[in-house]
Amino acid sequence: SAASDVYKRQFVHFKKQIMNDNTNKRIDFVDLTKGICIILVVMAHIDGAFAKFDESSMISCFRMPLYFFISGIFFKSYEGFAGFLIRKINKLLIPFTFFYITAFLLKYVVWKIAPGVFHLPVQWSEMLVIFHGHDLIKFNPPIWFLIALFNCNILFYLIHFLRNKHLNLMFASTLLIGAAGFYMGKYRFELPFYMDVAMTALPFYAAGFWIRRYNFFLFPHRFDKWIPLFMAMALTIMYFTATTPGMRTNSYTGNIAQFYIAALAGIFMIMLFCKRIKHISVISYLGRYSVITLGIHGPILHFGGQFVSRYIHNEWVLSFTLLFVTLAICIVLTPFFLKVMPQVVAQKDLIKIR
């Protein structure tokens, strides 16, 4: 009947409005999760004593998948592909370009002023490294993630429309694309601009998108009293399935089931932990502006590591000193970026959207 159709349209509109409100609502513990994640990333790039944490694979199995998962939580299609694309250029490609060029120029200038001091034989040809498969960006290694995440966003945008009428096809497409990316890594078939990495990461991104639709996970719920039990279960799963993935190179030591099961278990464990804790000022601040720490900690470690290592020779003391010094510098510099150049650190749009 006509009245029934009107009622259904109103209900659908009301449901969409609720979902949009939830999507726009800031979730404090997600900032804490991002903060812990970026700290783990910094620790991985310090290496040294922290490399021992990765020997058991318990941390490395979820560190980068967690970043893709969190990004999926905040997915929105906006007003269409053009608007979506411009927003992702503002949020990901512009910060990548800024951190890519400035890190290279910084090392090049230092090398010219004091050649040999920091062991920096920098060549202009290194600016083309991004076009060479998955080669390490030596002058700022961590920022490869921004390109991979951009591609993951585009991939998910192209398939997420299937959820309205072909939900099973959407799930199947997500899993198929993820499996294709994983086995490309296994057989060392590389795609440019980390597209194969984005394919492997797509199931994590999609999982984040769907979790946002279920309030029992992100918002207070009666199930929260069982969080310690759920964390223990996730930790047990990780213990038996964790492997050491190399997401930048799209290389994996375990089988596909181990990779995804261990990563998802680690993701849920750390997010449940953060849901219980909710907020830690310094770590949550790092999480909220994690793109800045991601973009600048590589050059800080390069210069700071060589300086600090001259005076500290104990492996553990050196690693923790570098961690605290690097994070402290990132915290100090973050307000500068936010005030002086927010457009290049994903806080304001450089390309205006009509």
Higher pLDDT, 1 or 101: 101
- Which has the closest alpha carbon to 78: 25, 153, 9? 153
What is the chain's mean pLDDT, rounded? 87
Q: Which pLDDT does position 136 carry in this prediction?
A: 84
Lowest mean pLDDT among 29-38, 73-82, 180-189: 73-82
Q: Which pLDDT does position 119 carry in this prediction?
A: 64
Higher pLDDT, 319 or 218: 319
Q: Which pLDDT does position 299 carry in this prediction?
A: 92
Q: Which pLDDT does position 117 carry in this prediction?
A: 64
Taking the C-alpha atoms of residue 317 and residue 263, their distance in angstroms, rounded to an integer, is: 30
pLDDT tens sequence across 267-316: 999 999 999 898 999 999 999 999 999 999 999 998 888 888 888 889 99
Q: Which pLDDT does position 54 carry in this prediction?
A: 76
Q: Which pLDDT does position 172 carry in this prediction?
A: 94
Question: Average pLDDT for residues 241-255, to the nearest whole number?
Answer: 89
Question: Average pLDDT for residues 4-18, to the nearest whole number?
Answer: 47
Q: What percentage of the chain reaches a pLDDT higher than 70? A: 90
pLDDT at 18 over 50: no
Cα angle 324, 326, 327 (rounded to 5 degrees) comes to 65
Q: Which pLDDT does position 310 carry in this prediction?
A: 85
Helices (runs of H) and strands (runs of E) counted in the chain? 15, 2
Confidence label for 325 from pLDDT (cuts 50, 70 and 90): very high
pLDDT tens sequence across 155-213: 999 999 888 888 899 999 999 999 999 999 999 999 999 999 999 999 999 999 988 87
pLDDT tens sequence across 116-154: 666 666 777 788 888 877 888 888 999 999 999 999 999
What's the pTM?
0.88
| Bridge partner list, 245 | 252
- Token pair recorded at residue 18: 């609720």
pLDDT at 3 over 60: no
Confidence label for 233 from pLDDT (cuts 50, 70 and 90): very high
String of DSSP letters for 240-292: HH---EETTTTEESS-HHHHHHHHHHHHHHHHHHHHHH---HHHHHHHHTHHH
Q: Which pLDDT does position 219 carry in this prediction?
A: 77
pLDDT tens sequence across 51-66: 887 776 788 889 999 9
Amino acid at 157: Y
171-188: burial string, b at 16+ Cβ within 10 Å, e else: bebbeebbbebbebbeee
Q: Which pLDDT does position 220 carry in this prediction?
A: 75
Q: Which residues contact 190 (CB under 8 A, 6 or more apart)?
A: 133, 134, 184, 196, 250
Taking the C-alpha atoms of residue 198 and residue 200, their distance in angstroms, rounded to an integer, is: 5
On whether the CB atoms of residues 238 and 61 are closer than 8 A, the answer is yes
On whether the CB atoms of residues 153 and 75 are closer than 8 A, the answer is yes
Residue that has been written with the tokens 């991002």 in this structure: 34
Burial of 121 (0-12, 13-18, 19+ CB in 10 A): exposed
